[in-house]
Amino acid sequence: MNLVVGANLALSGTRWDFSLSFPIDIRYDLGLAVLPVDESKHLVADTVLAHHPNTHWLTSELVNNGTQFNLTFDTNRLPDTRITRLQLVLYRYGAKGPLDFAQQVTLQQENVFTHTLDLKPISASALIIAELYQRNGAWKIRALAETSAYGLSALGRRMGAEIDERSPHSPSSGSYGASNERPEAWSGTGFLVSPNLFMTNAHVVEGARQLRLTSIQGKLDAEVVISDETNDLALVRAACPSHIHPLAFRKTSIGLAEPITTLGYPLASIMGSGIQATQGVISGLFGAQNDIRLLQFTAPIQPGSSGSPLLDNTGAVLGVVSSSFVNTQNMNFAVRNVLALALLEAVQAPYQLQVNERTLSTAQIAQQTQAAIWRVECMS
């Protein structure tokens, strides 16, 4: 059986053998991690890295000249009863680049299922390829293609734990800065939500020792005020010009199929420093696995779009762009605006609610909001 992204399949028993195969030797570039999480997707036990010594509930081996991982799971021996999900994550060591070099990956259980993903379009450094999960005492597998643009370490912090993503083939080091495993610079998007306060994703600013906001209006030195890794939101402080006004938040409920616009700085190293606009609709009122914190939308996004505002047809903020599924047709997610407002209230920052309810054209939305939307440049 061929599993497409999002498909589920019941597994027999509690012990299984799987393999992950690649067309090239990945041993010096690509790792595999298994994340044991609870229903809230928080790590409740140590992450298992395939290159580390085997555990009593999972064994792994890299064979066939570095082109195949063989895995054996035994869920009867899980170390914590709260573990109801096991997420399989492919990642680039040290987040040194995207996964596209590996071309393709196939996860399979012999004579049961196959799940194949084309990696060539993936510009992220980590990818959740599948999830084993427990329902009513039985285990199932769900085929996924959920990316983490900034690597395994950033994904782990969103789940409440530090994960060492360094290569086992590099000299040991106490920090990523010293080992030079992490990228020296990366970028996302942020938008003004309160005087001198910009909102972005926690995974954008995670690991950054220096922050700068840029737009056609100039450059601003910035610092993180608060980072909510659980909901993937962060507030950044910068001395913003007084003529720039914060974006207002939607004050009414959000409906399915509503038209939306995003503005941000995707693929800035390729597309340049200009702001980019995309359009779509609200395609779902929940995230993956019915995650109520998220909205699903169809406007195309790319790495660098993280932290962009999701705007309704009046220019009000519905959410904060956070993640996407690859190899699917515009299946993207944003953190709901109510969580963004809760973070602002936590630091007692004033914010604006929607006043204008007049429908605007996309051009008018862009003209009205783009001054408040800046590129977030991060340096390690």
Range of the domain at 30: 8-177
- 221-277 pLDDT, tens digit per residue, is 999 999 988 889 999 999 999 899 999 999 999 999 999 999 999 876 555 568 999
The residue written with tokens 């004579």 in the block is 111
Length of the chain in residues, anyone? 380
- CA–CA separation, 158 vs 202, rounded Å? 8
- CA–CA separation, 74 vs 189, rounded Å? 42
Task: Tell me whether residue 2 is in a domain.
Answer: no
pLDDT reading at 313 higher than 50: yes
- 214-233 pLDDT, tens digit per residue, is 998 999 999 999 998 888 99
Handedness of CA 299, 185, 102, 15 (dihedral sign): negative
- Using the 3D structure, point to which of 155, 177, 199 is the last residue of a domain: 177
SS3 362: helix
Same domain, 99 and 194: no
Same domain, 272 and 350: yes
CB atoms within 10 A of CB 316: 24
Task: Tell me whether residue 3 is in a domain.
Answer: no
Structure tokens at 337: 């605006």
Q: Which helix (H) or strand (E) holds 71?
A: strand 68-74
b vs e for 248-261, b when ≥16 Cβ sit within 10 Å of the residue's Cβ? Answer: bbbeeebeeebbbb
Among residues 199, 157, 149, the alpha carbon closest in space to that of 310 is found at 199
Structure tokens at 172: 């040991």
- 28-48 pLDDT, tens digit per residue, is 899 999 999 999 888 999 999
pLDDT reading at 150 higher than 80: no
- CA–CA separation, 315 vs 298, rounded Å? 17
CB 158 within 8 A of CB 202: yes
Same domain, 360 and 305: yes
Among residues 165, 194, 198, the alpha carbon closest in space to that of 179 is found at 165
pLDDT reading at 304 higher than 90: no
Percent of the chain at pLDDT > 70 equals: 93
CATH number where 94 lies? 2.60.60.30
- Using the 3D structure, point to which of 177, 194, 229 is the last residue of a domain: 177
Task: Tell me whether residue 221 is in a domain.
Answer: yes
Structure tokens at 364: 């008018």
Q: Domain total for the chain?
A: 2
Same domain, 138 and 196: no
**pLDDT confidence band for 185 (50 / 70 / 90):** confident
Same domain, 89 and 205: no
What local confidence, expressed as pLDDT, does residue 238 receive? Answer: 95
Task: Tell me whether residue 322 is in a domain.
Answer: yes
* Higher local confidence (pLDDT), 65 or 52: 65
What local confidence, expressed as pLDDT, does residue 183 receive? Answer: 56
Q: Per mean pLDDT, which range of 80-94, 146-160, 171-185, 233-247 is the poorest? A: 171-185
Same domain, 171 and 192: no
- 344-373 pLDDT, tens digit per residue, is 999 999 999 998 889 999 999 999 999 999
* Higher local confidence (pLDDT), 329 or 48: 48
Pairing of strands 15-21, 68-74: antiparallel
- 116-126 pLDDT, tens digit per residue, is 999 988 878 89
- 92-107 pLDDT, tens digit per residue, is 988 877 898 899 999 9
CATH number where 275 lies? 2.40.10.120
Same domain, 121 and 200: no
pLDDT reading at 91 higher than 70: yes
Return mean pLDDT, the chain: 89
Same domain, 171 and 188: no
Same domain, 157 and 208: no
Task: Tell me whether residue 131 is in a domain.
Answer: yes
Amino acid at 66: G
Same domain, 202 and 345: yes
- Using the 3D structure, point to which of 148, 177, 206 is the last residue of a domain: 177
Going from the C-alpha of 319 to that of each of 135, 187, 253, 300, 311, the distances in angstroms are: 31, 19, 12, 15, 7
Task: Tell me whether residue 1 is in a domain.
Answer: no
**pLDDT confidence band for 188 (50 / 70 / 90):** very high
- CA–CA separation, 140 vs 292, rounded Å? 22
Same domain, 155 and 189: no
Same domain, 268 and 328: yes
Going from the C-alpha of 145 to that of each of 128, 141, 329, 331, 369, the distances in angstroms are: 6, 13, 12, 10, 32
